[in-house]
Structure 1
Amino acid sequence: MQISIDHLSMTYPTGKQALQDVTLSLESPSLVGLLGPNGAGKSTLMKLLVAGLLPTSGSIQVDRRPLLQCERELKAKLGYLPQTFGLYEELTVWQFLDYMAALKGIEDSTGAIARAIRDTNLEEKKKCRIRSLSGGQRQRVGIAQAILGDPSFLIFDEPTVGLDPEERINFRNLFSRIAQDKIVLLSTHIIEDVQSVCNQLIVIDKGRILFTGAPARLIQAAQGHVGVFEEADRREEEGFSVTARVNTSCGVSCRVVAVQLPPFAQPVEPTLEDAYMYCVAQGGIR
């Protein structure tokens, strides 16, 4: 599958411009991380990709066909977990997934439901009513309905919110396996999730694409712009952002991201989180 986004812009009736001239290409197999601050335009982009909104200008093509001409075919291949997903409280997990399978037109629903429940570790909860589940278990039900029927294009909006560390690792591994022959778009604020599994990264802010490419290339761009210093050695200077403070045996160690490191900072290897913050502060990396 190939999805081409060409000069896409979206302005809401209120006048808010959510996306500005976005051009992207997504092609299977790939696991794509979508990063950006709150209000950056991530949710709008995802809604446009599933035809939940119509763009103000620009186009989306799926396998070289306009999205609106193949909307039904796309939705038959789509697994989608929005950030807020309504669950039917009175249904059991199995009943809910059976209902979703019917909506998707899945023929072997019993086998598909059993696989989704196994992959999301819900076997012990399959007969429980959704109202009795914890927040993390509900999130797993949301992921289960998204992967139901083996879709070829999956979009997850903050899928690991509410999951404990072990569950997050399990789902990162699941997303990685799924993406071996599919397009998986993962929108998250948890940089660790992106760093662990994504082979392509999109950074968006204020409706504009600031970076697209391999995570390693973003990290390389931040080389020489990340450093550490002891807080006791700090001098009053501007032009840098302290991103972390850590208590050590020598005092408080500060981590800084800057276009030009202050003279009292020792350069260190950037993390993906450092590189992301540098990209947003710079307004993009080419």
Structure 2
Amino acid sequence: MKLNPYPYFYKTIPHTPSQMAKEFLFFVHDLGWYQCQPDYRVKRIFQPYSIRLVLRGRGYVVWRGKTHSVSTGQLLLLDLTEEHEYYADPEDPWEIIWVRFGGAQAVDYYRALQCAKNPVLNVRDLVLVRRLFEELVSLFEKRPPGYEFTASSHLTQIFTDAAITLAEHDHSTNRGAPLRYPEHVHQVIQYIEENYRLPLTTEELANHVFISPGYLSRTFKLATSCTVTEYIIKHRLRVAKKLLTQSENSLGEVAQEAGFCSQSYFSKLFKRDEGVSPLLYRRSMKN
């Protein structure tokens, strides 16, 4: 798809997502492509999320009292339920492809990309990301079979590129720190991974870092995208997988070594997360 030759244009493609898409995909409400006039400005509250790629030019977004510049090749990811304002640079008005979307994982990506602080994102592979946006526009113009699945996949690829870019930036600016967590979250994670065999509770972990359980719950979920209990279970399951593939221990011994209170509880959680029983997992990995 080539750039529109006209100086200013606006295209919007509305869509009503299927119930299937709403239940387990990223789903599109509408999307479009526009070249803004120098005086283009929008201020509103809408729903649910939108992501925009600046094809050329420059613009600005006013977000939570701060003004951020958005340039060619950058993304703008907004939670539209919050008041926001964006406008084109009058001397170099932007051209943008945009998608308004929703989905069960939308809030998780929004938090992981730290867009509540700064909604402007960089990308690693601009050629790929631009192609994905252009193909999204084409998909909803033509609506071929399975297009909602393809659209969900395209949005996932876009978010993944932005997430990797952010992780690489954090890694380089923090001298190799693997994740930019608050210090008390780092301490809690370290304590969990050293003491996962114990019957850990949120209250005990909060006492370990001298904060309230409620504050730990909120900040831990914000930083890691999972609750304290979910993290404990995930780490125990990681230990169990290693034991299943690298030892001949019985399932009861694996459950005990990984910190689960019983073999039945371990098997139930394992099958819920992996889709197979621990025994079938062991057999498939060894085969």
Length-normalised TM-score, structure 2 = 0.26
The structure whose Rg is larger is 2
Higher relative CO (Cα under 8 Å, sequence separation at least 6) belongs to: 1
